[in-house]
A = this chain, B = another copy of it.
């Protein structure tokens, strides 16, 4: 690779690193072109040599975020462990990831950015995360009360993701796990529990155990 291009790539990564620092410290508003430039030691407009606009930067941060999350979840899975243990491990990894940098979790799953449209690349990463979760599915999660059309939609969705080896019950189970865990987590990172005196971690664990008890 060209040396020019190598430096360029380094600078791009540096910009993203600083953006994540700003995100962790000051929230989404901290990801300002001027602020990043200042921390990088250049003026604001210089950033536009590396990213078409602020949205492009955010989009890349989101894509990176999904990949990082997928890596984390995948790493948490011990293939030798029984399903229940795998589910606990992935759920724990998910919450640890979320509470470590709440703003990053909100960047991915909170209020969407106005102009944002997920690129295909991001979808791959999101699907990787979902696949990691589904890898902890028990052989048969048991029946669910579900409208008939939903199973058809789950089938099509599963085919798109290449989950042909999974049953519709397992796919519904995966979606349910994801939505329930997200339910507690999003309330937690949005600060909705802060005035209740409740420990979100305990509510989270209760949900995880309820999910496991579902089929055992």
Q: Mark A residues whose CB is within 8 Å of B.
A: 26-29, 106, 109-112, 114, 118, 123, 144-147, 149-150, 153-154, 156-157, 160, 172, 175-176, 179-184, 186-187, 190-192, 195-199, 202-203, 205-207, 209-210, 213
The residue from B110, B144, B197, B205 contacting A111, defined by CB atoms under 8 A apart? B110
Given A198-B150, A199-B149, A202-B146, do A183 and B179 touch, yes or no (CB 8 Å)? yes
Majority secondary structure of chain A interface residues (helix, strand, loop or mixed): helix
Given A186-B182, A190-B112, A206-B176, do A195 and B147 touch, yes or no (CB 8 Å)? no
Once the chains bind, are B190 and A179 in contact (CB under 8 Å)? no
Once the chains bind, are A157 and B198 in contact (CB under 8 Å)? yes
How many copies make up the complex?
2
Once the chains bind, are A205 and B147 in contact (CB under 8 Å)? yes
Once the chains bind, are A209 and B111 in contact (CB under 8 Å)? no
- Chain B minimum-CB-distance residue to A110: B111
Q: Nearest 4 A-B pairs (CB), nearest first?
A: A183-B183, A110-B111, A145-B209, A179-B183
Once the chains bind, are A198 and B175 in contact (CB under 8 Å)? yes
14 residue pairs of the A-B complex, CB under 8 angstroms, read A26-B114, A110-B111, A145-B206, A147-B202, A147-B206, A149-B202, A150-B203, A172-B206, A179-B183, A179-B184, A179-B207, A182-B183, A182-B186, A183-B186
